[in-house]
Homo-oligomer: A and B are copies of this chain.
Amino acid sequence: MITLDRRELDFQLFDVATVDALCRGPFAAYDQTIMSGILDTAEDIAREKFLPHAEKSDRCEPRFEDGRAVLIPEIGEALAAFREAGFFGATFDHEWGGLQMPETLRSAVSYLFFTANIGTSGYVLLTNGAANVLSAFASQDQKTRFLAPLVEGRFFGTMCLSEPHAGSSLADIATTAHAQDDGSYHLRGRKMWISGGEQEISENIVHLVLAKVPGGGEGVRGISLFIAPKYHVKDDGSCGARNGIQLAGLNHKMGYRGTTNTVLHFGEENPCVAFRVGEEGRGLFYMFHMMNEARIAVGLGATALAAAGYSVSLRYARERTQGRSPDAKDPGLPPVPIIEHGDVRRLLLAQKVAVEGSLALLLYTAGLIDKARLSEDREERSRLEDLTDFLTPIAKSWPSEFCLEANKHAIQVLGGAGYTRDYSVERLYRDNRLNPIHEGTHGIHGIDLLGRKILDDDGRCLRMLAERILADVDRATSIPSLAEFAQLLSREVSSTLAATDELVAARSERARSQLLANATLYLDMLGHLVIAWMWLRQALAAEAKAGNGGQPSPYLQGKYHACRYFFRYVLPQCAWMRELATAADDTTLSMPEDGF
């Protein structure tokens, strides 16, 4: 049975991410008591409304019937409870009916729901994403008509980017938008992989659609952003007739099944009326504004799935007895709980460092967003935004890759039982396999990080990150139990800066394809380094919490040990990846195509 680990979340939120310090300015209504109360509410709804149907959602996936998507009723019931608690409006301004909470707190709230049931939470993720875009770029009238009901959770949202022939390569989308005399547009085209593209839970669905206005710019410069509602919205805010958007079919997925994934046809049988958001040709820019938060949410989802698996496998390891210690000579001794076996401990520690290291990073990144909002200094705000941009591919990709590994380990702890559908660990592993794929594949984030965010930036953001890491290294150096880790991390940071500088310097001499040939390894390497930093921060927070001289609790000792595990078992893997990536090794590129 999956359990929600509030002790861990509270430690991360209050001791590591020190969310209290953010409770000022627009967040002045919050303090620790209020935040704890919100987490209690979230925990209750997650446990009572989200968790119980997680298995059923997987077993009874959405069905396509008469052009409709039929879901199990528990999904709608859970989302109704979520809506009643006001959580759809978590981070939105009071002006639009939101709770105006710090992104850090919202991440903690989401984490509880994601751990309980990622499939049902998917609808929230998408609705928030759409609302974020409208909040930033829509007109006042569009906000009244579409943003307010999204914030309320009466309408749900989607993001319609990909098409059957253009998954990652958005420059190639073919959906068109034809301007009408009344200022609206008619959309025509087909969209693929649209999560939440059809359901009958919400009163309406607000599709945010990327399309090209004929005669506009080439490639991505020709893309604009449109609002296309499932039902027309009247001036009084009520819903009218259906718009010309058809559900063409459902995708049948390996996991993550509670979230419908659809193929949508726009404007094929009836006209699809849509409204342009912002300026023509800026669609991708607007959408990607929101993508940072969507990507951070993907990382958080991956982390939550691993947390769920960790909780199941940890309990199993404590309860299941099997075998004896290699030190026991007497075969007549009773079998021991498997948590006593070295390799089971390794599998548990590998999960613990992935889950808690990722969670720390995601709350840290959310904290940067909050700090940028709080900052009154334009330059500081810009630095915080740049750092958020820089960390986003890591915050999305490291959890997606290594929390999936964690789910693999959770199955292994249970052995044959983990391979059956009687335990949720096999489902969690299937659910998590999506995360390295959606919202930009693992490979694409590697190119984004090493190409756009390092090579094209002369390594400026990387140095900014290094400064922050080294500030924590300095704090740790003076603490005897952490000095070993401080030194190791400091060395990795120096090596990474030096090797990256060399690559940046070689920029003009080598083809970009070669510079980026091992970008994914660079992404994983820098991810290891950043997560090591997060472990050092957790160890520092545990040290502070334990206070001077007292015996730390086993929980806080566990933080120190997990930090040691990460530094000894994971961080040493940076060297070979860094070497290949920064040497721009061309082994993959020079393979003859018929040699595969």
A interface residues (Cβ-Cβ under 8 A, vs B): 162, 166-169, 171-172, 192-193, 218-220, 251-255, 314, 318, 322-327, 331-332, 335, 339-349, 352, 404, 408, 411-412, 415-422, 426, 429-430, 433-434, 436-438, 441-443, 446-447, 451, 511-513, 515-520, 554-555, 557-559, 561-562, 564-565, 568-569, 572-573, 575-576, 579-580, 585, 587-596
**Other-chain residue from B252, B344, B433 in contact with A411 (beta carbon distance below 8 A):** B433
**Other-chain residue from B323, B589, B592 in contact with A168 (beta carbon distance below 8 A):** B323
Q: Are B322 and A588 in contact (CB under 8 A)?
A: no
**Other-chain residue from B192, B219, B587 in contact with A565 (beta carbon distance below 8 A):** B587
Q: Are A326 and B512 in contact (CB under 8 A)?
A: yes
Q: Are A592 and B345 in contact (CB under 8 A)?
A: no
**Other-chain residue from B325, B437, B562 in contact with A418 (beta carbon distance below 8 A):** B437
11 contacts between A and B (CB under 8 A): A193-B416, A219-B332, A251-B416, A254-B426, A326-B513, A343-B447, A344-B443, A347-B443, A416-B438, A558-B592, A568-B580
Q: Are A519 and B594 in contact (CB under 8 A)?
A: no
Cα A518 to Cα B417 with chains together (Å): 24
Q: With A411-B433, A412-B441 as given contacts, are A588 and B565 in contact (CB-CB < 8 Å)?
A: yes
Cα A325 to Cα B511 with chains together (Å): 10
Q: With A335-B172, A416-B167 as given contacts, are A513 and B421 in contact (CB-CB < 8 Å)?
A: no
Enumerate chain B residues within 8 angstroms of A325, measured Cβ to Cβ: 513
Cα A348 to Cα B349 with chains together (Å): 30
Enumerate chain B residues within 8 angstroms of A171, measured Cβ to Cβ: 331
Instruction: Kindly provide the distance from the CB of A113 to the nearest chain B CB, expressed in whole angstroms.
Output: 22
Enumerate chain B residues within 8 angstroms of A596, measured Cβ to Cβ: 314, 339, 348-349, 352, 558
Instruction: Kindly provide the distance from the CB of A59 to the nearest chain B CB, expressed in whole angstroms.
Output: 10
Q: With A558-B596, A568-B587 as given contacts, are A219 and B331 in contact (CB-CB < 8 Å)?
A: yes
Is chain A's interface secondary structure helix, strand, loop, or mixed overall? Answer: helix
Which B-chain residue is minimally distant from A553 (CB atoms)? Answer: B594
Q: Are A169 and B564 in contact (CB under 8 A)?
A: no
**Other-chain residue from B166, B585, B591 in contact with A561 (beta carbon distance below 8 A):** B591
Q: Are B415 and A595 in contact (CB under 8 A)?
A: no
Instruction: Kindly provide the distance from the CB of A464 to the nearest chain B CB, expressed in whole angstroms.
Output: 25
Q: Are A345 and B595 in contact (CB under 8 A)?
A: no
Instruction: Kindly provide the distance from the CB of A96 to the nearest chain B CB, expressed in whole angstroms.
Output: 32
Q: Which of A339, A411, A433, A447 has the most CB of B within 10 A?
A: A433
Q: Are A592 and B561 in contact (CB under 8 A)?
A: yes
Cα A167 to Cα B562 with chains together (Å): 29
Enumerate chain B residues within 8 angstroms of A253, measured Cβ to Cβ: 419-421
Copies of this chain held together in the complex = 2
Enumerate chain B residues within 8 angstroms of A587, measured Cβ to Cβ: 349, 561, 564-565, 568-569
Instruction: Kindly provide the distance from the CB of A3 to the nearest chain B CB, expressed in whole angstroms.
Output: 13
Cα A251 to Cα B323 with chains together (Å): 23
**Other-chain residue from B218, B512, B558 in contact with A591 (beta carbon distance below 8 A):** B558
Q: Are B342 and A415 in contact (CB under 8 A)?
A: no
Q: Are B568 and A572 in contact (CB under 8 A)?
A: no
Nearest 6 interchain pairs by C-beta: A558-B595, A343-B443, A554-B594, A219-B331, A572-B576, A345-B588
Q: With A554-B594, A595-B554 as given contacts, are A323 and B169 in contact (CB-CB < 8 Å)?
A: yes
Q: Are B326 and A447 in contact (CB under 8 A)?
A: yes
Q: With A252-B420, A254-B421, A591-B349 as given contacts, are A327 and B513 in contact (CB-CB < 8 Å)?
A: yes
Cα A136 to Cα B580 with chains together (Å): 50
Cα A572 to Cα B572 with chains together (Å): 11
Cα A595 to Cα B554 with chains together (Å): 5
Enumerate chain B residues within 8 angstroms of A568, measured Cβ to Cβ: 580, 585, 587
Q: Are B589 and A520 in contact (CB under 8 A)?
A: no
**Other-chain residue from B347, B411, B433, B591 in contact with A419 (beta carbon distance below 8 A):** B433
Enumerate chain B residues within 8 angstroms of A590, measured Cβ to Cβ: 561
Excluding A169-B323, A342-B516, A342-B517, 12 further A-B contacts by CB distance (< 8 Å) are A171-B331, A251-B420, A342-B588, A349-B596, A412-B436, A412-B443, A426-B433, A554-B593, A555-B594, A558-B592, A568-B587, A569-B580
Q: Are A167 and B322 in contact (CB under 8 A)?
A: yes
Enumerate chain B residues within 8 angstroms of A324, measured Cβ to Cβ: 169
Cα A564 to Cα B580 with chains together (Å): 13
Cα A565 to Cα B521 with chains together (Å): 14
Cα A447 to Cα B166 with chains together (Å): 48
Instruction: Kindly provide the distance from the CB of A513 to the nearest chain B CB, expressed in whole angstroms.
Output: 5
Enumerate chain B residues within 8 angstroms of A415, measured Cβ to Cβ: 167-168, 437, 441
Q: Are A595 and B561 in contact (CB under 8 A)?
A: yes
Cα A121 to Cα B596 with chains together (Å): 27
Enumerate chain B residues within 8 angstroms of A515, measured Cβ to Cβ: 326
Q: With A568-B580, A590-B561, A593-B339 as given contacts, are A166 and B322 in contact (CB-CB < 8 Å)?
A: yes
Instruction: Kindly provide the distance from the CB of A169 to the nearest chain B CB, expressed in whole angstroms.
Output: 4
Cα A591 to Cα B520 with chains together (Å): 32
Enumerate chain B residues within 8 angstroms of A167, measured Cβ to Cβ: 322, 415-417
Q: Are A322 and B418 in contact (CB under 8 A)?
A: no
Q: With A254-B426, A332-B218 as given contacts, are A327 and B512 in contact (CB-CB < 8 Å)?
A: yes
Q: Are B437 and A252 in contact (CB under 8 A)?
A: no
Q: Are A412 and B442 in contact (CB under 8 A)?
A: yes
Q: With A171-B331, A327-B513 as given contacts, are A594 and B558 in contact (CB-CB < 8 Å)?
A: yes
Q: Are B555 and A595 in contact (CB under 8 A)?
A: yes
Enumerate chain B residues within 8 angstroms of A434, measured Cβ to Cβ: 419
Cα A452 to Cα B420 with chains together (Å): 31
Cα A251 to Cα B404 with chains together (Å): 24
Enumerate chain B residues within 8 angstroms of A348, measured Cβ to Cβ: 596
